[in-house]
């Protein structure tokens, strides 16, 4: 069994609205899987179905070898997954430790197991300074640490994170990222992530982009970049240069943006011969590698156009 | 697991000072109203029938205490269901549902918490009331009367929990909940004949109150609390004793005959059973 999650032809209807329209994807064990989409794309619906919070309309979902649907299997699935929700859901009136221990007890762990697991998350998420503070008094970053600790108190093999870094300061975002990376590398946890920050998805092993309930693109970050994001050259010329003549020499379309000119090229290497040829006219140049941001914007626009026509 | 859920609810409740305060608010208002004018009003009207003795003040206080205790049970249990609404709206319930806890156990945990908290607050209230009665020159309840009172209070808490459970199953937001809680806090005093004695109300409203289950708790408690004092105050004026009891809702007179305590008890018990069953049905429908 190499897949932690297998989804095939998953559909979810709310009345007449089709929120998820038959999607397929697989998540490899121990991988970092990024699930992208704008608001209302069907991201949250999908994640809620996978986490057993919402019943699917049809389709097959297998998580850690258990088929989602029956009570028994759902219960097995719940024990093997952890979830960091978008909002903070721990009790503000209780301390971090009380919160985590209480939620840990809901998993039928033995007392000894729970204490051992608590010590593990205590160390892993550096809870020492905050464990006796009330959750309601913590800063946003400290809350996220407590949230992650709660999500892994029963040592799940898959961790779902629903926009875990939205609204956090850069320092905490980095901490969250390092923690996720460590969980994956040191413990082999599978990470299923939804995010708005494209640069976060750039670290993923696989990206799936969903729009209006359908998958519109999937692949590794590099595959997606190759397919959808082109590299770009930004040129600025000397005053006396004959732009018309240069444009004819290039063999690529050149578009003016203010006082610079942009040229899309298949890969950064293509820039070298061009630069050599037009060097006498240049005052400066820049070669920019296509980013995952571009992929996202490009694909979304493209799909939008398709839907519009 | 169920125990962990219950202990979590209890901690959240007692550490949320606002929740505790609001669940006691109607009680505080009642005490305030009493201190300001309700007590004097009643003292004066009893004095029209019988000679003025210090016992009258004790009687009126005992009468008030009975009403107060029946209100604590309702407002405390409703306060605990405030946690359920908060969890529902903040989606904390989702964080429980992804554990091994089932929706049914989660719901049951609020009911159990409401009974535990409802009873502990009622019991503390009961002790305070007894101390208050003794401090103004009254007598402690006899051991048997005390057992009766505690028994009635337990029933009061369980019934209040069932009534409130049934109500909150139709509520999904905190805004709606606070509206309901304000209305219930205001209406309770009237529907149990505490703010205004029964006799003053129009017959139609009196009949409506006869059908309000919580008022039967008030009646049962009044009967237990005031028994000794009624005898003392109306010694030699036994004819007026019955008039007083009916006018002030110590006993119910329906169609010319006195409703026995047993009937009130049966009414309370059947309310518990009927609302418990209805809640179970609504719950299954809501989350099928």
Distance (Å, whole) CA A256 – CA A236: 10
Instruction: Tell me the chain B residues in contact with residue A90 when contact means C-beta distances shorter than 8 Å.
Output: 95
Q: Do residue B15 and residue A83 have CB atoms under 8 angstroms apart?
A: no
- pLDDT of the residue at B256: 83
Structure tokens at A106: 């809901």
| Closest C-alpha to A37, from A198, A166, A224 | A198
Instruction: Tell me the chain A residues in contact with residue B1 when contact means C-beta distances shorter than 8 Å.
Output: 105-106, 108
Closest in A87, A98, A106 to B11, CB measured:
A98
Q: Is any Cβ of chain A less than 8 angstroms from the Cβ of B8? A: yes
Q: Please count the residue pairs, one from chain A and one from chain B, whose beta carbons lie less than 8 angstroms apart.
A: 59
Classify B208 as helix, strand or coil: helix
> Which residues touch B200 (CB under 8 Å, ≥6 apart)?
none
Q: Note the Cα B101 to chain centre separation in Å.
A: 31
Closest in B15, B97, B100 to A79, CB measured:
B100
- pLDDT of the residue at A303: 60
| Closest C-alpha to B127, from B149, B112, B148, B156 | B149
On whether the CB atoms of residues A213 and A19 are closer than 8 A, the answer is yes
Closest in A51, A75, A106 to B4, CB measured:
A106
Q: Is any Cβ of chain A less than 8 angstroms from the Cβ of B12? A: yes
Whether A116 has a pLDDT exceeding 70, the answer reads: yes
Classify A231 as helix, strand or coil: strand
Whether A1 has a pLDDT exceeding 70, the answer reads: no
Q: Mutate which of A48, A52, A91 to test chain B, going by most B C-beta atoms within 10 A?
A: A91
Closest in B12, B92, B99 to A107, CB measured:
B99
As a 3-state breakdown, chain B gives helix, strand, coil percent values, each rounded to 5, of 80, 0, 20
pLDDT digits over A19-74, tens only?
A: 999 999 999 999 999 998 877 788 889 999 999 999 999 999 999 999 998 888 99
Q: Which residue of B has its CA nearest to A153?
A: B99
Shortest CA gap B134–chain A (Å): 38
Q: Do residue B99 and residue A103 have CB atoms under 8 angstroms apart?
A: yes
pLDDT band at residue A276 under the 50/70/90 scheme: confident
Give the DSSP letter string of A295-309.
HHHHHHHHHHHHHH-
* A30 phi, psi to nearest 5 deg: 75, 10
On whether the CB atoms of residues A164 and A144 are closer than 8 A, the answer is yes
What average pLDDT score do residues A284-301 get?
Answer: 79
Shortest CA gap B9–chain A (Å): 10
The residues pairing with A35 across neighbouring beta strands, listed in sequence order, are A194, A208
pLDDT band at residue A82 under the 50/70/90 scheme: very high
**Alpha-carbon torsion B169, B174, B180, B186, what sign?**
positive
What average pLDDT score do residues B57-67 get?
Answer: 92
pLDDT digits over A212-256, tens only?
A: 899 988 999 888 887 777 788 898 988 888 888 887 777 788 888
- pLDDT of the residue at B42: 87
Classify B6 as helix, strand or coil: helix
- pLDDT of the residue at A37: 84
More confident position, B71 or A165 = B71
Instruction: Tell me the chain A residues in contact with residue B8 when contact means C-beta distances shorter than 8 Å.
Output: 91, 94, 102
Q: Do residue B12 and residue A106 have CB atoms under 8 angstroms apart?
A: no
Q: What is the mean pLDDT of chain B?
A: 91
Distance (Å, whole) CA B72 – CA B78: 10
Structure tokens at A120: 């593990």
- pLDDT of the residue at A309: 32
Tell me what ipTM this predicted complex has: 0.84
Whether A5 has a pLDDT exceeding 90, the answer reads: yes
Q: Do residue A102 and residue B92 have CB atoms under 8 angstroms apart?
A: no
Whether A145 has a pLDDT exceeding 50, the answer reads: yes
A158-162/A190-195 β-pairing:
parallel
In this structure, the dihedral spanned by the alpha carbons of residues A135, A137, A139 and A144, taken in order and rounded to 10 degrees, is 0
Distance (Å, whole) CA A30 – CA A12: 27
Q: Note the Cα A250 to chain centre separation in Å.
A: 38
On whether the CB atoms of residues A303 and A36 are closer than 8 A, the answer is no
């Amino acid at each position: 069994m190499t897949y932690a999650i297998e989804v095939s032809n998953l559909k979810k209807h709310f009345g007449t609205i089709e929120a998820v329209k038959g999607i397929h994807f697989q998540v490899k064990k121990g991988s970092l899987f990024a699930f992208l989409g704008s608001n209302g794309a069907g991201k949250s619906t999908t994640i809620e179905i996978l986490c057993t919070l919402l019943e699917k309309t049809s389709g097959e979902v297998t998580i850690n070898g258990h088929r989602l649907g029956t009570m028994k299997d759902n219960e097995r699935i719940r024990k093997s997954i952890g979830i960091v929700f978008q909002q903070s859901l721990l009790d503000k009136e209780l301390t971090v430790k009380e919160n985590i221990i209480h939620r840990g007890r809901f998993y039928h762990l033995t007392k000894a197991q729970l204490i051992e697991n608590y010590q593990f998350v205590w160390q892993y998420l550096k809870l020492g300074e905050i464990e006796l503070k009330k959750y309601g008094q913590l800063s946003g970053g400290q809350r996220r640490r407590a949230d992650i600790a709660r999500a892994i108190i029963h040592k799940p093999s898959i961790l779902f994170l629903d926009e875990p870094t939205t609204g956090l300061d850069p320092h905490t975002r980095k901490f969250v990222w390092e923690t996720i990376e460590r969980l994956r590398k040191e413990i082999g946890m599978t990470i299923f992530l939804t995010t708005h920050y494209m640069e976060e998805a750039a670290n993923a092993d696989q990206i799936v982009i969903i729009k209006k309930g359908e998958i519109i693109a999937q692949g590794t970050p590099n595959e997606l970049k190759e397919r959808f994001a082109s590299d770009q050259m930004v040129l600025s010329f000397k005053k006396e240069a004959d732009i018309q003549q240069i444009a004819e020499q290039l063999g690529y379309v050149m578009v003016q943006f203010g006082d610079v000119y942009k040229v899309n090229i298949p890969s950064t290497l293509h820039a070298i011969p061009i630069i050599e040829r037009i060097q006498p006219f240049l005052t400066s140049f820049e070669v920019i590698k296509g980013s995952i941001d571009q992929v996202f914007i490009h694909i979304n626009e493209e799909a939008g156009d398709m839907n519009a026509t | 697991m169920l125990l962990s859920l219950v202990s979590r609810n209890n901690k959240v409740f007692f550490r949320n000072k606002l929740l505790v305060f609001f669940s006691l608010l109607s009680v505080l208002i009642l005490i305030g109203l009493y201190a300001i004018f309700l007590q004097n009003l009643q003292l004066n009207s009893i004095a029209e029938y019988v000679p003025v003795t210090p016992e009258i003040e004790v009687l009126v206080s005992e009468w008030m205490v009975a009403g107060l205790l029946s209100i604590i049970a309702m407002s405390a249990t409703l306060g605990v269901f405030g946690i359920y609404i908060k969890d529902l709206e903040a989606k904390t319930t989702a964080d429980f549902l992804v554990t091994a806890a089932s929706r049914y156990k989660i719901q049951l945990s609020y009911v159990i918490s409401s009974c535990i908290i409802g009873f502990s607050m009622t019991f503390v209230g009961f002790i305070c009331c007894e101390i208050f009665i003794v401090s103004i020159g009254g007598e402690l309840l006899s051991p048997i009367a005390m057992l009766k009172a505690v028994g009635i209070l337990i029933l009061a808490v369980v019934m209040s929990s069932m009534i409130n459970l049934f109500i909150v199953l139709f509520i999904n937001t905190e805004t709606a909940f606070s509206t309901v809680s304000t209305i219930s806090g205001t209406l309770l005093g009237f529907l149990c004949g505490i703010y205004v004695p029964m006799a003053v109300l129009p017959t139609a409203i009196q009949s409506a109150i006869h059908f309000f289950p919580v008022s039967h708790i008030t009646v049962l408690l009044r009967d237990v609390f005031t028994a000794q004092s009624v005898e003392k105050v109306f010694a030699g004026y036994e004819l007026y004793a019955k008039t007083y009891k009916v006018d002030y809702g110590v006993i119910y007179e329906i169609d010319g005959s006195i409703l026995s305590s047993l009937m009130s008890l049966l009414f309370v018990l059947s309310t518990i059973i009927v609302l418990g069953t209805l809640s179970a049905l609504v719950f299954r429908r809501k989350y099928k």
